[in-house]
Amino acid sequence: KELLVASSYSKNFGLYNERVGACTLVCADADTADRAFSQMKSVIRANYSNPPAHGASVVATILSNTALRAIWEQELTDMRQRIQRMRLLFVNTLQEKGANRDFSFITRQNGMFSFSGLTK
């Protein structure tokens, strides 16, 4: 009943060198959460002690300002639509070039990466 999710937001906010992210911990009870959080803090301390704050500050500024957030959300929409167009163009080009496999699954997937299912 425990869950640990590490999320990166570097690409979402264009902060590639800032290491912006979050670690989400869900536990069945407070005692388990306390023990797991203690372990997480030990790992964090051993890896980088004190994470940089600049990226997190930039994200907080964007998300707490209505106008900046609206601009960011529009940029996300624009990029999502561009990725969808590129996926479609890629699949159509494969078909035009005579690919002997159905790659339409690529257009049904989301995000920057694709699970190709290719083994060779």
The CATH number of whichever domain residue 97 belongs to comes to 3.90.1150.10
Regarding pTM above 0.75, the answer is no
Determine, yes or no, domain membership for 75.
yes
Determine, yes or no, domain membership for 47.
yes
Determine, yes or no, domain membership for 99.
yes
Output the pLDDT for position 107. 95
Q: Indicate if 8 and 45 belong to the same structural domain.
A: yes
Cα separation, 114 vs 105, whole angstroms: 9
Residue 93's pLDDT band, with cuts at 50, 70 and 90, is very high
Residue 51 has pLDDT above 80, yes or no: no
* Residues spanned by the domain of 42: 1-52
Q: What average pLDDT is seen over the chain?
A: 91
Mean pLDDT of 41-69: 90
Determine, yes or no, domain membership for 118.
no
Report, in angstroms and rounded to the nearest whole number, the Rg of the chain calculated over CA atoms. Answer: 20
Determine, yes or no, domain membership for 13.
yes
Q: Could you report the per-residue pLDDT of 12-41, keeping only the tens digit for each?
A: 888 888 888 889 999 999 999 999 999 999
Determine, yes or no, domain membership for 100.
yes
Cα separation, 32 vs 98, whole angstroms: 56
Cα separation, 20 vs 8, whole angstroms: 6
Determine, yes or no, domain membership for 57.
no
The residue ranking higher by pLDDT, 92 or 51, is 92
